[in-house]
Structure 1
Amino acid sequence: MTTRTKPGLRPANPNFSSGPCAKRPGWSVEALTNAALGRSHRAKIGKSKLEQAIELTREILQVPADYRIGIVPASDTGAVEMALWSLLGQRGVDMVAWESFGSGWVTDVVKQLKLADVRRIEAGYGALPDLTKIDFDRDVVFTWNGTTSGVRVPNGEFIPVSRKGLTICDATSAAFAQKLDFQKLDVVTFSWQKVLGGEGAHGMLILSPRAVERLESYKPAWPLPKIFRLTSGGKLIEGIFKGETINTPSMLCVEDYLDALRWAKSIGGLDALIARADANAAVIDGFVDRSAWLGHVATDPATRSNT
């Protein structure tokens, strides 16, 4: 058996992982000086900062003007669960999974919601499933970027613009590093602590007009906890998408997210962020290529994640 010793060379910045990620270059706690601490998120200053976070998100991610963007509790998980419990059940659903997070959503839909008409389209670690098997007359749930497998969809071309079902996309490790085709997506979710290195506990829920129409015209057969409710009296609760959050957000985390968004804007927005992610991935690719013992999990370079 070969015994490996700890490497003598350590990274200058050891703060990285697939969960909480490194802060922006040059970050310090001074960036949080103007946080609205000790103030209600419903006060003018708190609501203003939440509205800024929504509008900067729209600008940086290039979200269409008619899509709603909301800040919701419980990170990306909370955002995905809100979508699944509020929107599914009107028609059959195709669950597309190729790593642990996607498989988790399959479990929720099959074992918790217990929907009867569910098709599972799955692949093991390292590959995408056959996307041509997806029926877009049904609702479709998938991850854009498989966080734990390093396999992503290369683009949104497999999704038709004209479709009867909704596309629900967990984009938590793709948003800000990969181009999301919003015209092909009806629900997009992500969390602050992934690509931009924000702090945890907060999720983002982006809804297309088609998703809003479903929310206002369809009532699930199961009861919805208050934390999942997006409508009242059959109408969308618009305040959620104007900074009136369902629960009490951390204004310290909000300030940190604003700082990350302003930095992203200052370096050139989405194109610059994607270029940074690609450049970082290229460093890893080069290291793997030179190594005799490392390899990529993703078998096809076209579907290999840059995060």
Structure 2
Amino acid sequence: MTEIAKPHLRPADPRFSCGPTKKHPGWSPEKLATALVGRSHRTPAAVQRMVEAYERTAALLECPADYKIAMVPGSDTGAMEAAMWSLLGPRGVDVFAWDAFGGRWAKDAEGQLKLEDLRTFIASGGETPDFSQAKPDRDLVFTWNATAAGARIPDTDWISDQREGLTIVDATSAAFAMELDWSKIDVLTYSWQKSLGGEAQHGMIVLGPRAIQRLAEHTPSWPVPRILQLHNADGTGVIEEIFSGKTLNTPSLLCFEDYLLSLKWAAKEGGLPALLARVDRNFAALSEWVGKTGWIDFLCTDAARRSPVSVTLKFVEPEIAGLDQDRQWQLTRKMCALLERENAALDVNPHPSAPAGLRIWCGPTMEADDIAALGPWLDWAYQSAKSEF
């Protein structure tokens, strides 16, 4: 390998993973010392902390007052499947997908729920589907921001103000990082391990009044696993207790403490506007480097649909872009190994389902200075790895 001069300045924190993501500034394990470990999750003290987490979540996300929040098992996957299994059925369903996770919901709707009146609109490679196909009398299932594809919805104009169906939104990498139009959201799900840098395995579900009404009026025709059930034991109405600290399974109180710590940090930063401003600064720092770098570009070519959070990049230098994907992935893996060896950048590889290239997290817990310092190291790794091709 040809020896190429290394940059002088390393990022202060080399963690750029798109999930689980970097902890918020100032985090340390010692700050979890007050966690109720070894206590029952049913004890009043534990329930109080869960309710506090829900209340802080609602305030930070600026949820309407009549929306309800609960923790569910299984990360965002569990939350989305709980919503789909419990709510879909009475109307036709449109699923819009453009990455691996959206594709999972399309497969669930077709292969697991076996919905008879189902339409799927699929895109890939940094593109998004034709949202104009959405119909107001049908339920809509989609991701707000496709973490693996680096593309997001451009706006919510395609969702009718007079819609009759529900919108079920996977917002796992959009919550706390992008503006959410609550007038167009009936169900929203996300996981702790994305924008706030929380621990994995726990998911959150936010239900609006139209979704709660659907639960009261609709009983699924298929069996719903107990761990995903939002209905009462008799199959009617929502389990109200889950919004007041009664969980569907045993949660980690250590993880709850960590989530609370993240919520408190976000509030001290200045709430949602401050989090969005951090994302803007981070994305601007990365965009400045991309704009002056000839070998890399955004996978999503449409700026209006480009994710500012889970930024996915592709190789564009002709001698590399012309290689097949296997060879391009070899380059990606070599770059990542070099960067990890130097402790300059960790986990900047794309999702396995995405094209070869890079993926950089620019969420609220990141620092713009670290992202600015990252660019020269990516240049170094690319030139060093390319010398073997």
TM-score normalised to the size of structure 1? 0.96
> Cα offset for 1:14?
1.7
Q: Which residue does 1:276 correspond to in 2?
A: 278
AA paired with 2:303? P
Tell me, in whole angstroms, the C-alpha distance in 2 between the residues paired with 1:114 and 1:6: 55
Q: Which residue does 1:183 correspond to in 2?
A: 183
Q: Which residue does 1:39 correspond to in 2?
A: 39
Q: Which residue does 1:115 correspond to in 2?
A: 115
Tell me, in whole angstroms, the C-alpha distance in 2 between the residues paired with 1:81 and 1:51: 23
Q: Which residue does 1:212 correspond to in 2?
A: 212
Structure 1 range deviating more: 266-275 or 156-165: 156-165
Structure 1 range deviating more: 4-13 or 138-147: 4-13
Q: Which residue does 1:241 correspond to in 2?
A: 243
Aligned pairs for 1:69-148 within 5 A: 69-148=69-148
Tell me, in whole angstroms, the C-alpha distance in 1 between the residues paired with 2:37 and 2:4: 42
Q: Is the Cα contact below 8 Å between 1:189 and 1:203 reproduced in 2?
A: yes
Which has the larger Rg? 2
Tell me, in whole angstroms, the C-alpha distance in 2 between the residues paired with 1:208 and 1:36: 31
1:196 and 2:196 aligned = yes
Q: Which residue does 1:67 correspond to in 2?
A: 67
AA paired with 1:16? F
Tell me, in whole angstroms, the C-alpha distance in 2 between the residues paired with 1:264 and 1:188: 20
1:110-153 Cα offsets, whole Å, 9 max, x none, are: 11111111111122222221111111210010000010111011
AA paired with 1:150? G
Q: What's the secondary structure of 2:198's corresponding residue? A: coil
AA paired with 2:254? L
Distance 1:117 1:266, change over 3 A: same
Q: What's the secondary structure of 1:82's corresponding residue? A: helix
Q: What's the secondary structure of 2:175's corresponding residue? A: coil
Aligned pairs for 1:14-29 within 5 A: 14-29=14-29
TM-score normalised to the size of structure 2? 0.76
Q: Is the Cα contact below 8 Å between 2:124 and 2:149 reproduced in 1?
A: no
Structure 1: unaligned runs, 5 residues or longer: none
Q: Is the Cα contact below 8 Å between 1:63 and 1:182 reproduced in 2?
A: yes
1:55-82 Cα offsets, whole Å, 9 max, x none, are: 0000000011101101010000000000
Structure 1 range deviating more: 185-194 or 131-140: 131-140
> Cα offset for 1:7?
8.2
Structure 1 range deviating more: 194-203 or 16-25: 16-25
Q: What's the secondary structure of 1:56's corresponding residue? A: helix
AA paired with 1:238? E
Q: What's the secondary structure of 1:295's corresponding residue? A: strand
Q: How many residues align?
A: 305
Q: Which residue does 1:153 correspond to in 2?
A: 153
Tell me, in whole angstroms, the C-alpha distance in 1 between the residues paired with 2:300 and 2:245: 39
Tell me, in whole angstroms, the C-alpha distance in 2 between the residues paired with 1:7 and 1:26: 33
1:9-55 Cα offsets, whole Å, 9 max, x none, are: 44321223121000111111122121111111110110011001000
> Cα offset for 1:285?
0.6
1:218-256 Cα offsets, whole Å, 9 max, x none, are: 111111111111121312111111111111110110011
Q: What's the secondary structure of 1:211's corresponding residue? A: helix
Tell me, in whole angstroms, the C-alpha distance in 1 between the residues paired with 2:143 and 2:35: 33
Q: Which residue does 1:230 correspond to in 2?
A: 230
Distance 1:225 1:7, change over 3 A: farther
Q: What's the secondary structure of 2:40's corresponding residue? A: coil
Tell me, in whole angstroms, the C-alpha distance in 1 between the residues paired with 2:253 and 2:156: 35
Q: Is the Cα contact below 8 Å between 1:121 and 1:134 reproduced in 2?
A: no
Tell me, in whole angstroms, the C-alpha distance in 2 between the residues paired with 1:214 and 1:6: 61
Aligned pairs for 1:256-275 within 5 A: 256-275=258-277
> Cα offset for 1:161?
2.1
Distance 1:265 1:118, change over 3 A: same
Distance 1:18 1:4, change over 3 A: farther
1:289 and 2:295 aligned = no
Distance 1:6 1:88, change over 3 A: farther
Distance 1:6 1:272, change over 3 A: farther
Q: Is the Cα contact below 8 Å between 2:96 and 2:129 reproduced in 1?
A: yes
Aligned Cα RMSD in Å? 1.4
Tell me, in whole angstroms, the C-alpha distance in 1 between the residues paired with 2:77 and 2:5: 35
Tell me, in whole angstroms, the C-alpha distance in 2 between the residues paired with 1:285 and 1:276: 14
